[in-house]
A and B are shown apart, each in its own frame.
Chain A
Amino acid sequence: GNSVTQMEGPVTLSEEAFLTINCTYTATGYPSLFWYVQYPGEGLQLLLKATKADDKGSNKGFEATYRKETTSFHLEKGSVQVSDSAVYFCALRGGNTPLVFGKGTRLSVIA
């Protein structure tokens, strides 16, 4: 079945540091890939998505590229801010099946 593996946290960075959160997936066919963010006490918000190989999703300074050859969708940001502190979830969706989530990575950014 489909599955997502993302790096375990927590990840603690200083403000303006470079962020990478690794995500790899296993899926049949050609899934769409997503990153969701959950701020403290809130629901999940879609951060970015990519629907086919080599697509790059981007939003709010975050980027992730759909790499079929390495089955990866790593999340990156060049300069994190304190307000980026949250839990980040990598997820995939094959066809009309529900999202399959990774276990989440907690990011803490300190000033």
Chain B
Amino acid sequence: DTAVSQTPKYLVTQMGNDKSIKCEQNLGHDTMYWYKQDSKKFLKIMFSYNNKELIINETVPNRFSPKSPDKAHLNLHINSLELGDSAVYFCASSQDGGTGRNQPQHFGDGTRLSIL
């Protein structure tokens, strides 16, 4: 009964490759997010989707493309991977509609991406 699940947990690949990370939430939330955590543990928002629509797109290279087929899924595709993309990527979700204002976000366990 995992709430927010991401796959894979670990991803090791060569520079220049294209890879995807999948995220699913079974909480019935209407908003999903991708965060990047660097080696110093700093967390930065990348994207936010509400009901499958892109709400926030921070300054992220256009090699990163999120896709939300439905409000329970938010996948992250990365083209032409670079060394600097090595990080832990976290998916999160929250219920923002109705009385959901200021609700906490629920996080997946993260995907550790290592670029060789």
A104 to chain B: closest residue by CB: B41
In the complex, the answer to whether B101 meets A95 with C-beta atoms within 8 Å is yes
Say yes or no for A28: interface residue by CB 8 A criterion.
Answer: no
Cα A42 to Cα B102 in complex, Å, equals 24
**Distance in Å: Cβ of A68 to nearest Cβ of chain B:** 15
In the complex, number of A-B residue pairs with CB atoms less than 8 Å apart: 56
In the complex, the answer to whether A43 meets B109 with C-beta atoms within 8 Å is yes
Say yes or no for A45: interface residue by CB 8 A criterion.
Answer: yes
Known contacts A96-B31, A98-B33, A98-B56; A46 and B106 CB within 8 A of each other: yes
Which residues of B lie under 8 Å from residue A96 when comparing CB positions? 31, 50, 96, 100-101
Cα A36 to Cα B105 in complex, Å, equals 10
Residue from A36, A43, A46, A89 having most chain B Cβ neighbours under 10 A: A43
**Distance in Å: Cβ of A86 to nearest Cβ of chain B:** 11
Per-residue CB contact flags for chain A residues 25-43 toward chain B (1 = under 8 Å, else 0) read 0000001101010100011
A51 to chain B: closest residue by CB: B102
Say yes or no for A44: interface residue by CB 8 A criterion.
Answer: yes
Cα A95 to Cα B102 in complex, Å, equals 5
